[in-house]
Structure 1
Amino acid sequence: MNIIAAVDKHWAIGNRGKLLVTIPDDQKLFREETKGKVIVMGRKTLESLPAGQPLAGRKNVVLTRDEAYKVKGCEIFHNLKDAMEFLKQFKSEDIYIIGGAEIYEAFLPYCDTAHITWIDYEYMADTWLPNLDKDPDWEVTADSDEQTYFDLCYEFRRYERTGKKALELGEV
């Protein structure tokens, strides 16, 4: 499975339920990577999307503790085990974990690739992704040249799990 996220220099991903910054090329990368694939998110992430609706051209999987929660166009699950059972029908490389923090944390052991837009800036934040640079099981296997958006510098990094093998779908 894949993680896809934009992080600041301290691996922050959000503040008050919103992304830290919107970078057009990051949005383009997200669209290109996830189009036609399965995206997995929490309820708050879904509600932060345009009009709080699922993203077109993708299979939208949402985890929430709210047993009454329903959204047309989404597969809704209330626990990790049921979501993992559903995801078994898809190729692992076609599954993208898109947030938020609790969802990243729950699925990280099952992921072997991370597509990270690393932003050289420190934002006010209340939500973080685990810092893969400090995890010996992960290493950068590809990175772009430094990009700029106005005065913001960022780069696209691909991390791969090179240490302890990712758990298989269904292993809990």
Structure 2
Amino acid sequence: MYAIVAADRNWGIGRDGDQLCYIPADLKRFQALTTGHAVVLGRRTLSTFPGGRPLKGRRNLILSRDPAFRPEGAEVFRDLESLLAAAPADAFVIGGGQVYRQLLDRCDTVYVTRLDRAFPADAWFPDLDADPAWTLAASEGPFDHQGLSYRYDTYRRG
């Protein structure tokens, strides 16, 4: 499995149920990397998508304990074991924070858009730089969006 995330200097990834910022070039990169693959996400992450609808061109696998939650165009799993049984090896974990924490040990590559700013956040991604299991394998950038510097970092397990 893979994970893909945008994280600030402190590994913050969200606030009040939404991303910290939106960068059009990063959204295009996200789409290019994940289209044609399954994406694994939580119910709250789905609610941040346009219209709260699943992503097109991807198999949407949603982890939610809510038995009434059944969005059209997505597969809902009530527990991690059933989700893992259904998820292909090349699935992308796309959030939120709880889903990342539950599945990071199943991932071998993480694509991180590193935002060169500290935002107020209430959700965080694990600090891969502090984890000896992860190695920074590649970095592209810096890039700029309206005065915000960012780069694309690829981490690999091992």
Common fold, TM-score beyond 0.5?
A: yes
Letter in 2 for 1:122: A
Mapped partners of 1:120, 1:12: distance in 2 = 11
Partner of 1:160: 156
Mapped partners of 1:145, 1:127: distance in 2 = 25
* Matching of residues 139-150 of structure 1 within 5 Å: 139-150=135-146
Q: Tell me if 1:95 matches 2:91.
A: yes
Mapped partners of 1:26, 1:86: distance in 2 = 28
Q: Runs of 5+ in structure 1 lacking a partner?
A: 163-172
Query: What do residues 20-55 of structure 1 show as CA deviations (whole Å, max 9, x unaligned)?
Result: 000111101100000010000000000111100000
* Matching of residues 19-168 of structure 1 within 5 Å: 19-87=19-87, 90=88, 92=89, 94-162=90-158
Query: What do residues 109-137 of structure 1 show as CA deviations (whole Å, max 9, x unaligned)?
Result: 10000000000100011000001011001
Mapped partners of 1:139, 1:10: distance in 2 = 18
Mapped partners of 1:25, 1:132: distance in 2 = 23
- Aligned positions, number: 158
Identity %: 39
Mapped partners of 2:103, 2:149: distance in 1 = 29
Q: Runs of 5+ in structure 2 lacking a partner?
A: none
Letter in 1 for 2:20: L
Q: Which runs of 4+ in 1 moved over 2 A?
A: none
- Using structure 1 for the length normalisation, give the TM-score: 0.91
The root-mean-square deviation of aligned C-alpha atoms, in Å, is 0.6
Shift of 1:67: 1.1
Query: What do residues 136-165 of structure 1 show as CA deviations (whole Å, max 9, x unaligned)?
Result: 010111110210111100000000001xxx
Shift of 1:68: 1.5
Letter in 2 for 1:70: R
Letter in 2 for 1:44: R
Shift of 1:86: 1.0
Letter in 2 for 1:62: I
Mapped partners of 1:86, 1:140: distance in 2 = 29
- Using structure 2 for the length normalisation, give the TM-score: 0.98
